[in-house]
Amino acid sequence: MKPKITLLPNIRLATKIGLASAAALSFSWPAAAQNKEKPNILWITSEDNSAIHMGCYGNEQATTPNIDELSEDGITYNNAFANAPVCAPARFTIISGMYASNTGTQHMRSNNKIPGNFRFFPEYLREAGYYTTNNSKEDYNLDRDQWNKNVGEAWNESSSSAHYKNRKEGQPFFAVFNTTLSHEHKIHYHLQQENFEHDPDNLDIAPYHPDVPEMRKNYAQYYDYISRMDQRVGELLDELEERGLAENTIVFYYGDHGGVLPRSKRFVFESGTRVPMIVRFPEKYEHLAPGEPGSRKNRLVSFVDLAPTVLSLAGVDIPENMQGHAFLGKEKTEDPEYVHFFRGRMDERYDMMRSVRTENYRYIRNYMPHRIYGQHLWYLWRSTATRVWQEAYRNGETNAVQSRFWQTKPTEELYNVNEDPHNVNNLADDPQYQDVLKRMRKETQRWVRENRGAGFMPEAMMKQLAGDKPIYEMTHSDDFPTESIISTAEMASRKDPADVPELIEKMSANHPAIRYWAATGCAVRGEEAREAAPQLKKMLEDEYGNNRIAAAEALCRMDLTEESLSLLVEEMNNDNEWVQLHALNVLESLDTETVEPVKQDIFNVATWKERSGYFRRAYKSLLKKLKPGWSDYVIW
């Protein structure tokens, strides 16, 4: 065991002079001082990198010496996770201590309201005397007026120049430094290079990726930028020590969600949600640490836990509305059995997944199994890796595992994460794992009901029903039919033809979200739901655009296209931008031959350049599908 050392005067100096000599630098702080003085807390966050790409997590091909050293001096969490596999919903979850799926902020770059009494957690630190700084990413995914108000109350500074050095003398600080050096845009095709620090030929490739030269180059490029990110982490740690503050500062390092190679970011697999997380305690605050320096913890932790954990370390009461649980400090809770995940709209593409993880297994519930994993997404397709993977699939050059990304999804997925860290061997139908499957299905069902179903309404409908009120208030009212909506969504997604009579009955339900899922269930089943066609045709006149579109999609999947196709084109011009986007998503999901009769009508949407960015992206992608030759234009 390493001898305990204080971080005086410099932890890096201590490693240079040797641990035995470093131990001599230690001194004891009185217990009273330990309990009264508030620790400084430094957060260093990096974007878009999974735990699997860190040396301290066992990747010998990674070059991350500064983070590896931090791991040697701190507590490394083996099972740390982003609750959402993309930045904006994940950041809302962090800053609020609440699941974005509970407040209606689960979609990427949404602008929905939350209750006025829900505050960002740094505000509580500020009230307790902390100087709070954010340098500098916000991306909090809610109504802009509330965003600005909460930012002003949470941070003393939130900008690219924000720094703890600007605090009053002796004032404790909570400071965030975010680096974008490993962000997704670093591997976009216009940044490709030929000379790499990491040899493309010597890197391990995930089994779901085709092993082709362009893919290897993107891997090497990504590893190179992770190394540069690691250098930035080292610079921030060095600055803390040079200012003589390391002895009083608890340091967190974590990644903001999974990596950027295709099938990681945006997907609730291990690659999209498992992140590196390390916490280093100076000797002064070792009484708050859960173990010795250099130790590792298997406790399941996730982003919803960060806000209560920081408040716990600072000795601040945790607000009742926070859903996370402190994993450090005086309010530390028992180790949980589960962590939970959610996925909604990613930029211009709708999909819906929920997931739960134990220490050994990951379960995924796909509520839109009739959609392929790899829906075309403008930003993701700027990566060479994505495009060469799709091309290999279209050319018949991918194996069964590599092809799965381009196909529709099973309703349920179950993975043994210890034996299958890449999540390629779905055990959901394996008789040996039925007890595990049932247990994790039941836990998912419990959790989504506890979160009251905000994510179980289509986006446009959710906003229409809430009006000027926060979505949270609507879904947490006594008359909101949480159980009926969620149970219908579960029925819709499980593909069983025997459910069709009940789905037909539910198409007459009072609440529009129930009708939506009933029609979607028919779309999932396609021809097997043909007996529902008369009721679906009636739904083409539903008052909610989402329901008209869901019914039209179901009819198209039964080859009953005469009325339904023209309705989908009509909804592209709906006054609601999210209804427009829903219609575009459906049109692109259909076979080209199915859409052929209305192709010219789609081309005639003259106002597309004036629409929202997501509409333009989805529209150009549809044109690419229907009009070969648009490829380069669509990518840009």
- pLDDT tens for 496-549 read 999 999 999 999 999 999 999 999 999 999 999 999 999 999 999 999 999 999
* Residue 632 or 207, more confident: 207
- pLDDT tens for 206-230 read 999 999 999 999 999 999 999 999 9
pLDDT at 628: 77
| pLDDT average, residue stretch 588-615 | 95
Residue 42, beta-bridge partner list: 175, 251
pLDDT at 55: 98
Q: Is 425 inside any structural domain?
A: no
- Total structural domains within the chain: 1
Here the tokens at position 410 are 């099973």
Is 134 within 8 Å of 176 (Cβ atoms)?
yes
What does DSSP say about strands 75-81 and 274-275: parallel, antiparallel, or unpaired?
Answer: antiparallel
pLDDT at 553: 98
What does DSSP say about strands 157-158 and 353-357: parallel, antiparallel, or unpaired?
Answer: unpaired
Here the tokens at position 35 are 């309990």
Tell me how far the alpha carbon of residue 371 is from its chain's centroid.
19
pLDDT at 27: 29
pLDDT at 31 over 80: no
- The count of other CB atoms within 10 Å of the CB of residue 101 is 28
Boundaries of domain holding 100: 39-193+227-334
pLDDT at 631: 53
Is 417 within 8 Å of 423 (Cβ atoms)?
yes
- pLDDT tens for 131-187 read 999 999 999 999 999 999 999 999 999 999 999 999 999 999 999 999 999 999 999
Complete DSSP assignment for 501-526: HHHHHHTT-SSHHHHHHHHHHHHHHG
Tell me how far the alpha carbon of residue 264 is from its chain's centroid.
10
pLDDT-derived band at 420 (thresholds 50, 70, 90) equals: very high
Q: Is 448 inside any structural domain?
A: no
- The amino acid occupying position 164 is Y
State how far the Cα of 435 lies from the Cα of 442, in Å rounded to an integer. 11
Q: Is 399 inside any structural domain?
A: no
Q: Is 98 inside any structural domain?
A: yes
Q: What angle do CA 423, 426, 427 make, to 5 degrees?
A: 125
| pLDDT average, residue stretch 67-89 | 98
Here the tokens at position 623 are 């044109």
Is 466 within 8 Å of 452 (Cβ atoms)?
no
pLDDT at 460 over 90: yes
Side-chain half-sphere CA neighbours of 624 within 13 A: 17
| Residue 436 to residues 79, 225, 271, 360, 529, Cα–Cα distance (Å) | 19, 39, 22, 10, 31
| pLDDT average, residue stretch 484-500 | 98
> What DSSP character marks residue 440?
H
Q: Is 473 inside any structural domain?
A: no
pLDDT at 29: 30
Residue 349, beta-bridge partner list: 346
pLDDT at 137: 95
Helices (H), 481-612: 482-493, 500-506, 512-525, 533-539, 545-556, 562-571, 577-589, 592-595, 599-603
Here the tokens at position 213 are 């030269």
Residue of 56, 87, 522, 556 marked catalytic: 87
Closest of 192, 122, 179, 189 to residue 150, by C-alpha: 122
Is 220 within 8 Å of 194 (Cβ atoms)?
no
State how far the Cα of 635 lies from the Cα of 631, in Å rounded to an integer. 6
Contacts with 30 (C-beta within 8 Å, 6 or more apart), sequence order:
none
Start-to-end C-alpha separation, the chain: 54
pLDDT at 119 over 90: yes
Is 56 among the catalytic positions? no
pLDDT at 277 over 50: yes
pLDDT-derived band at 37 (thresholds 50, 70, 90) equals: confident
pLDDT at 190: 64
pLDDT at 33: 35
Residue 110, beta-bridge partner list: none
State how far the Cα of 209 lies from the Cα of 263, in Å rounded to an integer. 9
φ, ψ of residue 342 in degrees (nearest 5): -145, 150
State how far the Cα of 493 lies from the Cα of 224, in Å rounded to an integer. 41
pLDDT at 592 over 80: yes
Q: How many residues does the chain have?
A: 636
- Flag the least confident range among 305-314, 588-597, 604-613: 604-613
pLDDT at 617: 96
pLDDT at 343 over 80: yes
Q: Is 501 inside any structural domain?
A: no
pLDDT at 35 over 60: no
φ, ψ of residue 63 in degrees (nearest 5): -115, 90
CATH number reported for the structural domain that contains residue 188 in this entry: 3.40.720.10
pLDDT-derived band at 73 (thresholds 50, 70, 90) equals: very high
Is 74 within 8 Å of 281 (Cβ atoms)?
yes
Reduce the DSSP state of residue 76 to 3 states and report it: strand
Q: What is the 3-state secondary structure (H, E, C) of 356-395?
A: EECCCEEEEEECCCCCECCCCCCCHHHEHHHHHHHHHHHC
Q: Is 171 inside any structural domain?
A: yes
| Residue 19 to residues 3, 239, 511, Cα–Cα distance (Å) | 7, 22, 67
pLDDT-derived band at 106 (thresholds 50, 70, 90) equals: very high
395-398: list long-range contacts, CB under 8 Å, 24+ apart.
397/210, 398/210
State how far the Cα of 305 lies from the Cα of 288, in Å rounded to an integer. 16
Q: Is 84 inside any structural domain?
A: yes
pLDDT at 630: 62
pLDDT at 627: 86
